[in-house]
Amino acid sequence: MLTKDFDYSFLESHVAAQPVSPRSSSRMMVIDRNKKNFTDNQVFQLPQFLNENDLVVMNTSYVRPARFKASKATGGGLEGLFLEVLDEGRVRSWLQGKVKIGERIRLEASELEVAVAERDEREVVLNVNAMGFLNYLDAQAFMALPPYIRARRQRMGMSAELESDRSNYQSIVAEGLGGNSSFSIAAPTASLHFDHELLTALAERDIRIAKIKLHVGLGTFAPIEVERIEQHPIHSEEVGISQEFWREFDLTKKRGGRVLAVGTTVCRALEAGVRRRQAGLSTDAFCTALYIYGDFKFEAVDILMTNFHQPRSSLLVLVESFLWGSSGAGDSNSCNHWRKYYQAALASGYRFFSFGDAMLIL
């Protein structure tokens, strides 16, 4: 499958700079895979497409503010993106700007200084008390919004950073973290459409919600840069799926219910988890590099809710696979079935990407 078949053009006006309010008022394109058609709806109408035996699965990973600013002793500005704690005295980050090994930099709005211990192109290791650094991030850092959102805002005359980002780029089911707990850098964006009113509406129809974790990393933004999608070096992410979840899952399948994955992160986690389970392996905590494309056999997920994704992304490749792969209808040898829906969405003014509208694939 050629990567160029997952390319498309869009206008800057299609890029959502902020979410709508309330969250569940976002538009939602509902696609029927059997009938090969779609209808225009809104997210708050989700319950009418589900049955009481269905299970809605959401990712509760917490998005940690990870983008920080700093300055050199000379006054030069730097921008960084925290990646992980290596040990109690070192952290790994991306750092934009010229620094030398051994150089000390000061974090913005703080007296905290850190030393550059190692550098490999944009990636650095910083000598710093890890807990102190994490506390700084939680107090002063910005959400790591995709660059296209920040650029869109600036061209609209807005600030690239908004105070509301800390709440808007966080799912209402996200579970807070403490200390050096695992976390996401990017939000599981399909879950951003859910608000308390929608959760209440689902509960009133006896539609259950189950929770898993997949900690979303920067790899989710990585474009496919090779000629064929099969050659793409897919990123790995941490997953946690409890035994309590599997009991809910098994009960759903036994009753003839469907499993709705809220987002590609949940889809990836469940399909990886069900395969580990079949192999007799624990799913409580594991890493997955599962790459979903082509005629992938979906064994866990029956319905997918997702946003509209960037061209040439592994997320768009997953959507194509779900639309017309082995669990859907049509010719799985083709890879352009997604295109008519994206073209229709662009033509009718759907909002795209992380703060954009939704797609529900039945």
Mean pLDDT for 234-249 is 97
User: What are the distances in angstroms from CA 260 to CA 129, 203, 252?
Assistant: 42, 15, 11
User: What is the rounded CA–CA span in Å between residue 354 and residue 6?
Assistant: 18
Domain made up of 67-140: CATH architecture: Beta Barrel (2.40)
pLDDT of residue 221: 78
Do the first three CATH levels of 3-63+168-361 and 67-140 match, i.e. the same topology?
A: no
- Taking residues 94-114, report their average pLDDT: 93
Model pLDDT, residue 324: 80
Contact 351, 16 (CB under 8 A): yes
Output the pLDDT for position 220: 79
pLDDT, averaged across the chain: 94
Domain boundaries, the chain: 3-63+168-361, 67-140
Is the confidence at residue 21, as pLDDT, over 60? Answer: yes
More confident residue, 257 or 220: 257
| pLDDT attached to residue 218 | 81
Supply the pLDDT for residue 329: 47
Q: What pLDDT is stored for residue 351 in this prediction?
A: 99
pLDDT, average across residues 246-269: 98
- Specify the pLDDT at position 332: 46
Mean pLDDT for 181-208 is 96
pLDDT digits (tens, 9 = 90+) for 149-181: 999 999 999 999 999 999 999 999 999 775 567
pTM summary value: 0.94
Q: How does 61-81 read in b/e, with b if 16+ C-beta sit within 10 Å? A: bbbbbbbbbbebeeeeebebb
CA 242 to chain CA centroid, Å, is 20
User: Would you state the pLDDT for residue 121?
Assistant: 83
Query: What is the model's pLDDT at position 330?
Result: 47
Residue 2: CA count within 13 A, CB half-sphere: 4
Task: Tell me which fold the domain 3-63+168-361 belongs to.
Answer: QueA-like (3.40.1780)
Report whether 4 contacts 333 (CB < 8 A).
Answer: no
Give the residue-averaged pLDDT of 26-52.
Answer: 97
pLDDT tens digit sequence for 41-62: 999 999 999 999 999 999 999 9
My answer on whether omega of the bond before 47 falls inside 30° of 0, hence cis, is no
What pLDDT, in 10s, does the model give residues 297-338?
A: 999 999 999 999 999 999 999 999 999 864 444 454 567 889
